[in-house]
Amino acid sequence: MAFWDRLRQGGSAQFDMGGTGNSIALTRRRPSVSLSKQGAATGHLRVNLSWRMRTSDIGGGSRQSGQLLRHPFKLFKPEVVQAHTQGMVNVDLDLGCLYELADGSKGVVQPLGDFLGSTNEAPYVKLSGDDRFGSGSGETIYVNLDHHAEIKRLLFFVYIYDQTPAFDRTHALVTLHPSSGPRVEIELDERAPQARSCAVFSMENVKGDLVVRREVKFVYGFQAELDRLYGWGLQWGRGYKTRA
């Protein structure tokens, strides 16, 4: 049997990159999942942002086309380059979260202004740190779902801090790691070269059912524009991060 015949017969099973037994990919066709029904509405939920530089930005396109002729399997595994240093990609993505609690209090958890939050007391959302260069660990926010009855809704977003808009030059991935059950993955896979912020996903408490919904809505402003889009009603001022 020829190579391409074997590829056609086994391709769909071998190269299907959708949700597996250990992960669920939220897409336009499958935009939401219930953490409660997955048995994942307790413990600490870890939300991680990581990003990679697109190969074409470092002149890898021409080299890759030649390599595909010699190694056709690379067609199914595109090259990516981890953006470990600012010299490789001058993009600083930040992860943040707007919250509204059951008692009506609202706010934000984000690097700007050192609004780091807490998991042991309201808002039960905490940012672990600020990753400037897209390292392997990325940025992480923890949500204490043992207090999910006190959380009305959350909106997780990503924005580009103090740099030229470059969502089209990075491949960003937000992954939810519940305390049990499969992880949930959301790719920022839509091209929006002039956007500075993106609402990635929302989490809403619907009569005790925690529902995660893919948003992936790019905007050309920052947090204030996301606020208006989702009706949070906070007052915003200009903020800065301390230089490392």
Residue 229 to residue 219: CA distance in whole angstroms: 9
Asked if residues 240 and 114 have their Cβ atoms less than 8 Å apart, the reply is no
Asked if residues 108 and 100 have their Cβ atoms less than 8 Å apart, the reply is no
> CA dist 174 to 23, 166, 169, Å?
12, 17, 16
pLDDT tens string 129-139:
654 444 445 68
Q: Sheet with 209-219: list strands edge to edge.
A: 32-34, 209-219, 197-206, 151-160, 93-101, 106-109
Higher pLDDT, 10 or 72: 72
Q: Which residue has the tokens 């923890």?
A: 142
- Which domains, from first to last, does the chain contain? 26-230 (2.60.60.30)
- Reference 224, options 213, 214, 239, 212; nearest CA is 239
pLDDT tens string 100-135:
999 999 999 998 888 999 999 999 999 986 544 444
**Terminal alpha carbon distance of the chain:** 58
pLDDT tens string 162-201:
666 778 888 889 999 999 989 999 999 887 888 999 999 9
Q: How many CA atoms lie within 13 A of 184 on its CB side?
A: 26
pLDDT tier, 209 (very low <50, low <70, confident <90, very high otherwise): very high
Q: Beta strand 80-82 with 44-54: parallel, antiparallel or unpaired?
A: antiparallel
Residue 27 to residue 215: CA distance in whole angstroms: 9
pLDDT tens string 7-35:
333 333 222 234 445 899 999 999 999 99
pLDDT of 94 > 70? The answer is yes
